[in-house]
Structure 1
Amino acid sequence: MTHTVLTFLDRAFPDGRIEDATKPQLFATDLGATRGDGVFETLLVLDGHVRKLPAHLARMSKSAALLELEVPDHEAWERAIVTALDEYQRVVGPLTEVVVKLVATRGVEGAHEATCWVAASAPAPAAKRQREEGIDVLLLDRGYDSDLAERAPWLLLGAKTLSYAVNMAALRYAHAHGADDVIFTSADGKVLEGPTSTVLIAHAEKDDAGRLTLKRLVTPQLDSGILPGTSQGALFAAAKDAGWELGYGPLEPEDLFDADAVWLISSVRLLTPVNHVDGTAIGTDPELARALTAELAGLFDKIA
């Protein structure tokens, strides 16, 4: 069983309070458990460095604000992360690759104080395998149109909340039908996102010597009810500096099939190539797709 280090944010313990993750820690009346009322972020630590920490903390603050949920400040989270990683290193070993989850719930019903913790554990073995071998995905209809977030902000479509039952159900459906993951589409036919990832597509051209010339990277529109990806944002900044053209949708399923390469990108699984969508192979030039993946992965590896 994977060892998890659990550190609670507690006013009586400025640097966080370590607890035993193998024992019950959450009250049965906590609104995070009973209603999924809370927010979270998942970060990756590579070789001792927490990647994109400011971006994750900023997104968590934004998500909490959308829920009108008061959470600790960034410095408190940072101290708790340090405590968790120090304990992980002491108990488990080197911080070669560690998944860190930040969770804040609305707390015990009636108590009016958030329950917040940091959990550090090893990544699932499938994460590395999928980023190396690629994945097959299904297109699934999410059941609403792409401008719903603007019309109905109370649905919290741009917040990273604990209410992930639908996302997990979509993944189970994919696995039951021989696929690894899902790309959601809207009722009006737009590409949205994966259950735990952001969609990227690329178009490229090669010169007579086989060198990549035009390189264009596109992601769905950020105002289409999707969660703004910290990994997508960081990669776009690096790709722009490296001479890539960038675009923000709108994307339709046909754009996936016309692309030279498609990826799902997330903080833990990183840049994961999509091999097939609904059973159809992506791209007509596997060598080009591998070259694009290698170049973007190299850029992504340098992100702080």
Structure 2
Amino acid sequence: MAERFGEHSLKAVGVRIDAEHPEGFIFDPHQPQLRVTDLGSVRGDGIFETMLVLDGKLRKLQPHLDRLARSAEITEIGIPPEESWRAAIDRGLEEFKTRGGGGDNISVRLTATRGVDGEPASEDPRWAGTYWVLLTPVPEKVMANRLKPISVTLLDRGYDSKASERAPWLLLSAKTLSYAVNMAAYRWAAQHGFDDVIFYTSDGQVLEAPTSTVLLLTKTADGTPKLTTPTLKTGILPGTSQGSIFAAAERAGWELGYGPITPEDLKAADHLWLASSLRLVSPIERIDDTEFATDEDYTAQLLDFLKEDLASSYPQEG
């Protein structure tokens, strides 16, 4: 069993939420749970969020709940009220610790699907889908690679910077279960000797990485650090990690910028990072054939900013 699942997955705890159990009930995630006609599995028709327990604290809970609600609105998927998610998370964390899973470096994933194909929708749209919380230890490989410099390749995402505005049915700014393209990009990167990917639009604007947000550091004329991230107007996800870092950086007197950013801007930056909930911040040492100097002090500062956890909701521009 251990060889099949890995030690981290054996410690997994699942909490299901439904109308009869609005505060959630514990289930075994290693046993069958989803109907084969659930639209989350057969069409990827669902949304999710992943957050981290670090240093004994669940990080960025409110920004993740806000972004889940935003994705639900964009996709028109009904989700339980916020208090149900909070109660289910608390129940899962308590169970996780009871089973000896520890209280640190825990991945907490919230998932909502549109529900089972062909079944009549609930009269209350908040309970029409399938909902659960999954808690697992963060894989050792992810923790071992935190803060390590990475190489990145730029890949064309296949749409222009106005696509989100012109075609809202593409759901570009929702965090959906449909990650096939993102995973294909990772495979392409690995096959060509890169650790990660940064997407750009067909008209030359930088977007995001498949599972993280792009951060650039430059310095103003008086030497003040300035952090810049791509604009949300292109349809990228509002980054919760980026939001926390920006909130703390602003309090520390740094300048902030919100794009638009071009690949040439990336290559002209002093330093670059990818930021995400589980991997935290990853300094970039190479983009395609362009090498960058990494700075341990700035990376440590960004990590400190992230741990301050100041953002109370998903970040807005400007």
Identity, % of aligned positions: 51
Find runs of 4+ consecutive structure 1 residues off by over 4 angstroms.
none
Please give the alpha-carbon distance, in whole angstroms, between the structure 2 residues aligned to 1:277 and 1:102.
32
Please tell me whether the aligned partners of residues 220 and 226 of structure 2 are also in contact (alpha carbons under 8 angstroms). Answer: no
Task: Give the corresponding residue for 2:309.
Answer: 303
- CA positional deviation for 1:205: 6.8
Structure 2: gaps (5+ residues): 1-5, 122-127, 311-318
Instruction: Tell me whether 1:261 sits opposite 2:261 in the alignment.
Output: no
Q: Within 2, Cα distance between the matches of 1:132 and 1:199?
A: 14
Residue pair 2:101, 2:137 contacting (<8 A) in 1 also: no
**Residues matched between the structures, number:** 295
- Asked if structure 2 preserves the Cα contact closer than 8 Å seen for 1:40 and 1:162, the reply is yes
TM-score after normalising by structure 2: 0.89
1:91 matched residue in structure 2: 99
User: Aligned pair 1:51/2:59, yes or no?
Assistant: yes
Matched, 1:222 2:228: no
Q: Does 1:76 align with 2:91?
A: no
Per the TM alignment, residue 206 of structure 1 is displaced from its structure 2 partner at its CA by 10
1:33 corresponds to which residue? 41
Aligned 8 A contact 1:8 1:118 in 2: yes
- Measure the CA separation in 2 of the matches of 1:135 and 1:7: 35
TM-score (norm: length of structure 1): 0.93
For residues 271-286 of structure 1, the aligned pairs below 5 Å read 271-283=281-293, 286=294
Shift of 1:243: 0.6
The separation in 1 between residues aligned to 2:94 and 2:157, in whole angstroms, is 41
Q: Secondary structure at the match of 2:147?
A: helix
- The DSSP-based 3-state class of the residue aligned with 2:159 is coil
Q: Distance in 2 between matches of 1:114 and 1:233?
A: 29
CA displacement 1:180-225 (0-9 Å, x = unmatched): 1100011001111000011000013799xxxxx4101000011112
Matched, 1:246 2:256: yes
Residue of 97, 105, 109 corresponding to 1:101: 109
Are the equivalent residues in 1 in contact too, given 2:48–2:112 (CA < 8 A)? yes
1:293 to 272, 285, 299: 299
2:51 alignment partner, SS class: strand
- Contact 1:131 1:273 survives alignment (8 Å): no
Counterpart Cα distance in 2 of 1:59 and 1:156: 13
RMSD: 1.5
2:50 to 22, 39, 42: 42
